[in-house]
Amino acid sequence: MRKHHIRFNEAQLRMEAVPFTTADYVRWFLARAVLFAAVAVGSILTFDQYFESPKVRSQKRQIEFLESQLTTMEGQVSDMTGALEELTERDEVIYRNIFGAEPYPDHLRNPGIGGADRYRDFRGLEQSEQVIALREQMAELERRMVAQGESFGQLVDLAGSKQEMLESIPAIQPVRNSDLKRMASGYGYRIHPIYKVRKMHWGMDFSAPTGTEIFATGNGKVVEVKKKYNGYGHHIKIQHGYGYETLYAHMSKILVRKGQRVERGEVIGLVGSTGTSVAPHLHYEVFKEGKRVNPAHYYFNDLSPEQYELLLAASENANQSFD
């Protein structure tokens, strides 16, 4: 490093050496420091622009991997949601109809969730919205899967008692076809034989000779035995369980007692014309969940499709009931 600089002396008209002052030294060091800093910063910026450190490259690979995993998980959640929706549809449309079960409550199948922001710690970060959306989908999927599991649990319990249920459903005619004279009247509005007014006929009338055997149409328990001189006359009611009950009216003789267990096909009484009746017949009613339903819809155990169609047509064509 030089310790002086050369300058022109105008008074003497010659060049001369002038020693550096302290200010010159300070300026010299500052200039070189600035130059060094500029070179260093430029080198760093250039390196960051065109070169990556092993740590940065590793972090970028990890980020790319995590983003690809996030995309894959979104696809998997979407697939699982579709599969769950298909299971739910089968549950409601097929499985529950097979077992005669009520629809699973919507508020249990699609439970909501409230409260504070569960994902506030994720907000403001890179990919935060994508992560939050995925977490919400997964939480909803989990809740719906739990609900579907509980629904299937109910169906498993029903399946365990399926045989008992099938034996309890009133699924045969209460009078043999060979004993029938004709189908006197079906379910619906009919002309009352005594009062001659149009009234709702809540059952089906099977015309047969007095003394014809009457059969229990499903397994159950006799819960009512009455002998009246009007209305249903001598009649009984059987409780089958699973929401079903049946009524057998106008009997000439009752062969069971209250509280007795009976099986499908067991003789429970004989056809008669007691009570408000104009001819020997059996008035038969079916109840489902306490409401009267058309008995014709339940003769699927002992009738072929052709026989069922003939029975249905005969019951619909009748325009006057026997009671």
CATH of the domain at 267: 2.70.70.10
Buried (b) or exposed (e) across 220-240, using 16+ Cβ within 10 A? bebeebeeeeeebbbbbbbeb
- 59 and 38 fall within a common domain: no
Rounded to a whole number, what is the distance in angstroms from the first to the last CA of the chain?
Answer: 133
Are 92 and 64 in a shared domain?
yes
Task: Dig out the tokens for 229 from the structure.
Answer: 């001189």
- Residue 219 pLDDT greater than 60, yes or no: yes
Number of domains into which the chain is organized = 3
311: Cα within 13 Å, side-chain hemisphere: 25
- 204 closest CA partner among 284, 280, 277: 284
- Clarify whether residues 190 and 66 are in a common domain: no
- In the structure, how many helices (H) and strands (E) does the chain have? 7, 15
Asked whether the predicted pLDDT for residue 262 surpasses 90, the reply is yes
Residue 72 lies in a domain: yes
Domain identity same for 127 and 198:
no
Residue 322: inside a domain: no
Tell me: the pLDDT tens digits for 185-199? 665 555 555 555 556
Q: What is the largest CA-CA distance in the chain?
A: 161
| 249 shares a domain with 184 | yes
Looking at the structure, tell me whether residues 142 and 208 fall in a common domain: no
Range of the domain at 26: 4-50
Instruction: Render pLDDT for 17-68 as a digit per residue (tens, 0 to 9).
Output: 667 677 767 777 788 788 878 877 777 777 666 666 677 677 777 777 777 8
Same domain, 263 and 214: yes
CA 274 to chain centre: 49
Contacts of 99 (CB under 8 A, 6+ apart): 155, 158, 159, 162, 165
From the list 186, 180, 216, the residue with the least C-alpha distance to 203 is 186
Verify that 177 and 229 share a domain, yes or no: yes
Q: What is the pTM of this model?
A: 0.51
- Could you tell me if residue 323 is inside a domain? no
Per-residue pLDDT tens digits for 99-155: 667 777 877 777 666 555 565 665 656 667 777 778 888 888 888 888 888 888 887
pLDDT at 8: 64
Phi and psi at 75, nearest 5°, equal -65, -40
What's the length of the chain? 323
Cβ atoms of 186 and 204 closer than 8 Å: yes
188 and 294 in a single domain? The answer is yes
C-alpha–C-alpha distance, residues 236 and 308, integer Å: 26
User: Between these two residues, 81 and 308, which has the higher pLDDT value?
Assistant: 81
Question: Residue 304 — very low, low, confident or very high, per pLDDT cuts 50/70/90?
Answer: low
Structure tokens at 120: 């506030």
Q: Give which of 93, 265, 101, 259 is closest to 168, Cα–Cα.
A: 265
